[in-house]
């Protein structure tokens, strides 16, 4: 009999072959199946659907109304109403996603179920990105932390952009990591397309895009670090190209270059409020204090708000939407110039709201604050440790992590200058988990065990305390 697998198998009965190989083959298939992130995290998809179904409100409210209205506009061939009542409160990214479903008259509940799919895919893609730079255990931990992140779960039943944005952010992380590891130009293009669509979904990323591009182009002037920034510049330029049709559109209807939207002025105005007991959170123009969280002495608050803001609001609201945006910005700049310390205080309060969901002006603080403090503190101190480790090991940090940190830092710095809430931070949690996961994968092993392993009876107490410090009379 010839020595070799093929020759030997000729003399083995088929039944025995099946008996030998089928269990092994089945084991391999099961192992491969259970290592597939789509399968590993699939229970969360069903849980997300459950959360949405039992918590979805029967009617639209808040920002949901605006997104659906924009989707209807797109169905009818336009985005903003014509001048003078131009409405560019947010970018067209999310309305474009829901417009086909609105056109088919699919109930809003079923459209909202897509949030569960987006969040599930965000978890899967974060896991896949971490597997490229870390161990399977770290990737699983990162994916699970995102899967159970409480703030993400709380906003799933609402037809808002956060779940979709989280999906885009995780997609961007995975794609740029692939680009850096594989050198495949296709991944560069995909990463640029994703970042561009992220800008159209959250227009604050438009300013992040421009600032990041300017910084990376400036770094190209330095010969030593120039090779590190060709890839980010390519991605940023592709992303900018994606946004050009929208920028041409806004320039056409407003006459303003690089005009991303008209919502920033009012947000900056409320963030710059100089009045005591106002912490920079957003209030409705009617000054009725009819928004989250629970109202506190509502009639008194309305009187206070009108006393502080009525004169300015009445003047600004007489103008059209684009002029209002400019006047709000002008009023905010005056507030900042005249009350710089209050602006810094509001800036700090914005970060507190992003992390801990408080403080709010003229509002009750409910028991959920305890949970928010725990969650926010974990994010805060993990980030502090991450900053220290990153600073000490900056030269060894891989390029995709540096690029993601640049974008995230600019985004968070800009978010602090507007009326900020937890959802502004929530969409960047995949980046934070990717960053912390990378650092954890490259740390030296940390042990919680004592270095001394001798038994207690073998320890010389005289050696531990020193002969001179022992009182002989003590015994």
Tens-place pLDDT, residues 381-428: 999 999 999 999 999 999 999 999 999 999 999 999 999 999 999 999
Side-chain-side CA neighbours of residue 177 (13 Å): 23
Identify whether the C-beta of residue 430 lies closer than 8 Å to the C-beta of residue 166. Answer: yes
Tens-place pLDDT, residues 114-156: 999 999 999 999 999 999 999 999 999 999 999 999 999 999 9
Q: Enter the pTM of the model.
A: 0.88
Distance, CA of 75 to CA of 69 (rounded, Å) = 10
Q: Judge if the upstream peptide bond of residue 337 is cis by omega within 30 degrees of 0.
A: no
Average pLDDT over residues 81-91: 93
Q: So what's the pLDDT on residue 299?
A: 79
Question: pLDDT at residue 2 above 50?
Answer: no
Average pLDDT over residues 199-225: 94
Q: So what's the pLDDT on residue 183?
A: 83
Q: So what's the pLDDT on residue 223?
A: 80
Within 10 angstroms of residue 404's Cβ, the number of other Cβ atoms is 23
Pure H helices in 88-161 = 93-103, 108-112, 114-133, 136-147, 150-155
The band of 370, judged by pLDDT with boundaries at 50, 70 and 90, is: confident
Q: So what's the pLDDT on residue 300?
A: 85
The band of 475, judged by pLDDT with boundaries at 50, 70 and 90, is: very low
Question: And the tokens for 459?
Answer: 């320890």
Find the range with the poorest average confidence among 78-82, 168-172, 295-299.
295-299
Question: And the tokens for 303?
Answer: 């009187």
Identify whether the C-beta of residue 389 lies closer than 8 Å to the C-beta of residue 310. Answer: no
């Amino acid at each position: 009999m010839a020595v070799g697998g093929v020759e030997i198998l000729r003399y083995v009965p088929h039944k025995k072959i099946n008996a030998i190989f089928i269990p092994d083959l089945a084991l391999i298939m099961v192992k491969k199946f259970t290592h597939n992130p789509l399968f590993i995290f699939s229970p969360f998809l069903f849980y997300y659907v459950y959360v949405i179904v039992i918590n979805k409100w029967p009617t639209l409210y808040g920002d949901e109304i605006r997104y659906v209205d924009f989707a209807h506009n797109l169905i009818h061939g336009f985005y903003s109403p014509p001048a003078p009542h131009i409405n560019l409160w947010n970018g067209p990214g999310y309305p474009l996603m829901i417009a086909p479903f609105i056109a088919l008259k699919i109930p809003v509940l079923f459209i909202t179920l897509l949030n569960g799919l987006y969040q599930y895919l965000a978890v899967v893609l974060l896991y896949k990105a971490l597997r490229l730079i870390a161990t399977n255990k770290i990737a699983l931990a990162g994916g699970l932390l995102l899967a159970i992140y409480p703030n993400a779960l709380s906003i799933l039943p609402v037809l808002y952009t956060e779940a979709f944005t989280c999906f885009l952010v995780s997609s961007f992380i995975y794609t740029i990591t692939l680009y850096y590891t594989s050198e495949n130009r296709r991944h560069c293009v995909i990463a640029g397309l994703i970042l561009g669509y992220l800008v159209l979904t959250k227009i604050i990323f438009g300013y992040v895009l421009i600032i990041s591009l300017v910084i990376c182009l400036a770094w190209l002037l330095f010969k030593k670090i120039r090779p590190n920034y060709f890839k980010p510049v390519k991605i940023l330029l592709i992303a900018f190209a994606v946004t050009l049709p929208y920028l041409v559109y806004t320039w056409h209807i407003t006459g303003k270059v690089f005009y991303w939207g008209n919502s920033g002025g009012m947000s900056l105005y409320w963030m710059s409020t100089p009045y005591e007991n106002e912490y920079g959170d957003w209030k409705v123009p009617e000054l009725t204090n009819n928004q989250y969280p629970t109202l506190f002495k509502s009639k008194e608050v309305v009187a206070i708000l009108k006393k502080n803001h009525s004169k300015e609001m009445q003047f600004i609201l007489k103008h059209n939407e684009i002029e209002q945006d400019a006047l709000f910005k002008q009023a905010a700049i005056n507030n900042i110039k005249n009350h710089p310390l209050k602006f810094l205080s509001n800036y700090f309060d914005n970060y507190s709201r992003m992390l801990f969901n408080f403080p709010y002006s003229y509002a009750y603080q409910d028991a959920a604050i305890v949970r928010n403090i725990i969650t926010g503190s974990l994010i805060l101190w993990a980030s502090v440790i991450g900053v220290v480790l990153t600073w000490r090991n900056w030269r060894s940090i891989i390029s995709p992590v540096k690029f993601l940190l640049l974008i995230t830092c600019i985004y968070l710095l800009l978010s602090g200058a507007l009326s900020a809430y937890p959802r502004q931070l929530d969409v960047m949690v995949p980046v934070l988990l990717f960053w912390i996961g990378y650092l954890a994968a490259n740390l030296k092993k940390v042990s919680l065990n004592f270095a001394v392993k001798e038994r207690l009876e073998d320890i010389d107490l005289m050696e531990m305390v020193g002969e001179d410090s022992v009182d002989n009379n003590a015994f």
